[in-house]
Amino acid sequence: MQTRLLRFLLVLSAITLAADTPADAWKAMRKSAKFMRSISAGGGYLWRYSTDMKLMAGEGRGSKTMIWFQPPGTPAMGEAFLKAYGASGDKYLLDCALAVGDALVMSQLESGGWDHRFDFNAPERRYRQVDRGKLAFTETTRRRNVTTFDDNNSQCALAFLMALAEHCPDSEDPRQQRIVHALSYGLQKLLVAQYPNGAWPQRFDGKVIDPRRFPVTKAKFPEKWSRKYEGLNYSSHYTFNDDSIRDCILTALEAHERYGEGRPEFMAAVVRGANFLLLAQMPDPQPIWAQQYNAQMEPAWARKFEPPSVTGGESVGVCRTLIDLYLELGEDKYLRAVDPAVKWFKKSSISKGKWARFYELKTGKPLYFTRDYKLVYTDDDLPTHYGFQSSFGVESMTRYYEKVKLMGREKYLASRERPPLTAKQRASRAKGMEKRVREIIAAQDKKGRWVSKDKLELSGMRFKDRVETKVFIANLRVLSEYLALLK
């Protein structure tokens, strides 16, 4: 047992709490980590596993040698292990996090990021960063090498590696060396992937971007647009779908906060990204944003149910990002851009508290699709796999904007500051968490699993009893927070 961990447990023994709750919480964390490590593939994870290990999946069907990156996949699992280590000092939990880091190293693409998934049983399907200089040119062109920024795949991997690198001081440890190198390589490629106007594509093949193909210009309405799906490749479009550009900006901002001294390129990327949000705002009468734009900064088709339009969905995330960037950078222009968007939202709801995902360019009519993907104005035959109507967080975003505008930047930032908890407050908060902690411990089975028993049908797979990474992550977060309060 490590010295740090022994000191930690001695402190716990002196605190007046329910019998053995802190020690039991640590044991539950370690037990669950050991089980999850036993089913990992190369240190990485999918999203769910049947208890008999015959069925497993990420967003789609998986295998015992496959890992997924989109949360709650491999990077999110690594973050959970790392937080648990920080709360307990248990080096086994750090080793689990390092194993996740190494899984990311071995699956990182030469283009700098990650695909949706990786199969350790078929590494030859990918052109990886670790393959550089080892393959013939013809072989590199045959292998897949497309970084995805969709669904927070590559961004969350880089964010985890930044946190993990703080625990990699050993320049003689090959695993730690690989992790630090992969992080540096990935951050550099994140910068290379940024367009001259500050946007990022949904997918990036690692090639240097030709600025002549992507001029810096403001968003505009196309002179005409096809109401029929065109089936064109949209991977190079400037894409707000699934908050991909927001996630890229926040990743660059975190890199600046960690490494900014002497590395101005990260803040420069943040500012370019922030200014792209201003460029992408559509002109009146629709001063919000499209879901995706072509190189001429015109709203464009993506998938067959994502038409050229302005969006009541992704525009909310853009507004939040602009408010966040105003608070971070202090430039009024970012907050000013939100005002006309908020006014548009207030007059464009389709019912109380609900907006359409897509609105027709210029006319403002809500756009929908039938189940056989015909573009229509009616909502009586919608596909069920996609959110064409929702609250989209419009009202909470509006409250956020109005509060920041009313208080002003300095007062708002000051209101978010909280003094450190006193020892008495920490003990009281830990006491308040005790019931939930005991419930989590009691729900764990003998193998260290938290088993979800509700039925789930997904992509032709029928799950019954299963282990969900999102449940593991949530439970480890609670246990980690609890133990951290007792340090």
d(CA 108, CA 102): 10
The neighbour count for residue 93, using CB atoms within 10 Å, is 26
Residues 271 and 393 in one domain: yes
Residues 406 and 438 in one domain: no
Six token digits for residue 237:
């479009």
State the Cα angle at 244 between 247 and 255, rounded to 5°: 25
Residues 167 and 247 in one domain: no
Average pLDDT along the chain: 95
How many folded domains does the chain comprise? 2
Burial 445-463 (b: 16+ CB within 10 A, else e): eeebbbebeeeeeeeeeeb
What integer pLDDT is reported at residue 254 of this predicted model? 98
d(CA 60, CA 62): 6
Give the list of residues 6+ apart from residue 253 with CB closer than 8 angstroms, or none.
Answer: 266, 267, 270, 328
Closest to 241 measured CA to CA, from 317, 334, 349, 323: 317
Task: Confirm if 280 and 237 have CB atoms less than 8 A apart.
Answer: no
Residues 146 and 170 in one domain: yes
Strand partners, 287: none
Helix, strand, or coil (residue 168): coil
Domain annotation covers residue 302: yes
d(CA 153, CA 156): 6
Half-sphere exposure of 458 (CA within 13 A, CB side): 18
Q: What is the pLDDT of residues 168-226, one digit of tens each?
A: 987 788 999 999 999 999 999 999 999 999 999 999 999 989 999 999 999 999 999 99
Structure confidence at residue 125 as a pLDDT band (50, 70, 90)? very high
Helix H or strand E segment including 11: helix 3-13
pTM of the model: 0.93
Burial 207-235 (b: 16+ CB within 10 A, else e): eeeeeeebeeeebebeeebeeebeeeebe
Residues 440 and 321 in one domain: no
Q: What is the pLDDT of residues 20-65, one digit of tens each?
A: 899 999 999 999 999 999 999 999 999 999 999 999 999 999 999 9
Strands (E), 69-116: none
Residues 183 and 248 in one domain: no
Structure confidence at residue 142 as a pLDDT band (50, 70, 90)? very high
Residues 176 and 106 in one domain: yes
d(CA 119, CA 69): 12
> Which amino acid, residue 482?
Y
Domain housing 234 = 211-416
d(CA 75, CA 45): 9
Residues 378 and 411 in one domain: yes
Res 480 pLDDT > 90: yes
Tell me which of 370, 399, 416 is where a domain ends.
Answer: 416
Res 19 pLDDT > 60: no
Domain annotation covers residue 263: yes
Six token digits for residue 94:
């750090």
Domain annotation covers residue 201: no
Helix H or strand E segment including 99: helix 91-107
Q: What is the pLDDT of residues 278-294, one digit of tens each?
A: 999 999 999 999 999 99
What integer pLDDT is reported at residue 8 of this predicted model? 55
d(CA 30, CA 47): 20
Q: What is the pLDDT of residues 402-445, one digit of tens each?
A: 999 999 999 999 999 999 999 999 999 999 999 999 999 999 99
CATH code for the domain in which residue 396 is found: 1.50.10.20
Q: Identify the DSSP state of 241.
A: G
Res 5 pLDDT > 70: no
Rg (C-alpha) for the chain, rounded Å, is 24
Structure confidence at residue 468 as a pLDDT band (50, 70, 90)? very high
Q: Identify the DSSP state of 87.
A: H
Residues 158 and 286 in one domain: no
Tell me which of 416, 445, 473 is where a domain ends.
Answer: 416
